[in-house]
Structure 1
Amino acid sequence: MMGMFQAERLKLKRTMAKKLLVFAPILVIICSFMVPQYFIINAYNWWYIIILPGLLTLFAALMNTYEEKKLRYRAVFPLPISLRKFWMCQIMALAYYLILTSFLHCFILVLLKYFVFPNAGETYPISQMLLASMVLWLSVLWQLPFCLWLAKKWGFIVTLLVNFTAHIILGVTLSTTAYWLLCPYSWGIRLMVPIMTIYPNGLKAGSEAAAPLLATSYWSIMLSLILALILFVGLTWLTALWFEKQEVN
């Protein structure tokens, strides 16, 4: 299975998808300098509200597109390999690159904040920023098998429209309500309130009446992360079973 994982990584070598993994965090950090006093707040807020979900969706859709271009998976289905494991390795590759780009975003922020522009914006401990990046990664993992399935089933455009729109409309809207645990898209957004004290609209949590410091208990934080992992494993397994039954068109 490790061999298939390495093969999936090699397929993405010199592709546009892999370049986006570097370009996306750099872009959001450059944009954050437009308001230097909120440098870190904006860099994280724009990252998890727009850039990360968009990157995730686009990356998964592009991975399917690369396989579709290669004779519509005809280079895969005839091979004496487990299609279930092949599908899981694709998801593993997506998760691997997603955590790399998440920590690249965090690393560049730490580098700029502490060594280049120490007086720009508010100061957050490095451990707090690393925790936020890890939590965001864990909270969106479940979208990888979902987006890969959407792309295989309905195509590139539908995947972008469905997942990114659901994140913006459902995730952002419900993240500040009492029903945030019921919407997987809201989990990462809501957890940034207690972890980074950042409201979905970019305001500092607790600083204004429009951005109250929402009550989020330790147990609800742990529950949302556990649910995210369970959903990720469940969707990975179900979509792998679905893919195993596919045939060459």
Structure 2
Amino acid sequence: MRDDFQNLSRGLKQMCCYCEQFCPEWDIKGIMPVLTRGDSHMIVMPTTYSPMTVARSFRVVKEIELSGRLLQVIYDNQTPRAAIIEADIEVFAGVPRHRVLAALDLQRKKEFGSDIIAVERWWEDSDLAQVEGICVSPGERDKGLATRLYEALIMQCGITLISDFDQYDGGKMLWQKIARESDQISVFVLDTEQGAFWPYDGTKVIYDGGCIPEERIWSISPDQKCHGIVLVAENKQRANQLMEESAPYRI
């Protein structure tokens, strides 16, 4: 829908007002990108998937060739969840499985819009490195799998990703990396309380990982001053088209 991106801010603001009035137990005032130092409390992620599970629950949205191997980006729209797996099947303890290289746990935000998905949490295995929403095996850590997973979901599935409201240092670095390096995704900073994008003057600034003061996006727990701020990752071409048609923007 043409106005999906513009309506995101309005939908977030309306949701906040609705929750304050009708769902006080949700503690909407606690929504924040507040950084918590150290590691998060994580559950164990599956490091392999059976071919039956992949065929039944996921669809392959993109294939990637990396270091001579064929990888598949898979997405489960119902849960929702996403992962990058090896296309070839290996045998683990006598059972054929697909190895998981990166995984992302998501949460659908229907109150924001039909195609708005929030990065909810990440899973880790003892051999996996954690980054907000993303688990990447050590051997693939420097090959941009996390960015590729975000790009595939946004470009191939037509969704908009928003940041989780509770951040860890790894999550902050991932969003900065995507904003700085991706040529397919535009990242914006949205204040859900004002219902406006940075710099909150009617224009939109594309976040490049460093153009907005960090203290205006993240605060360090227990400092709550940045409650209500989320990062929004959108298809760069579509976002630019919408901004050109509706409002001035700056980079």
**Fold shared, TM-score > 0.5 on shorter chain:** no
TM-score normalised by the chain length of structure 1? 0.26
More strand by share: 2
Structure with more relative contact order (C-alpha pairs < 8 Å, separation 6 or more): 1
TM-score normalised by the chain length of structure 2? 0.26
More helix by share: 1
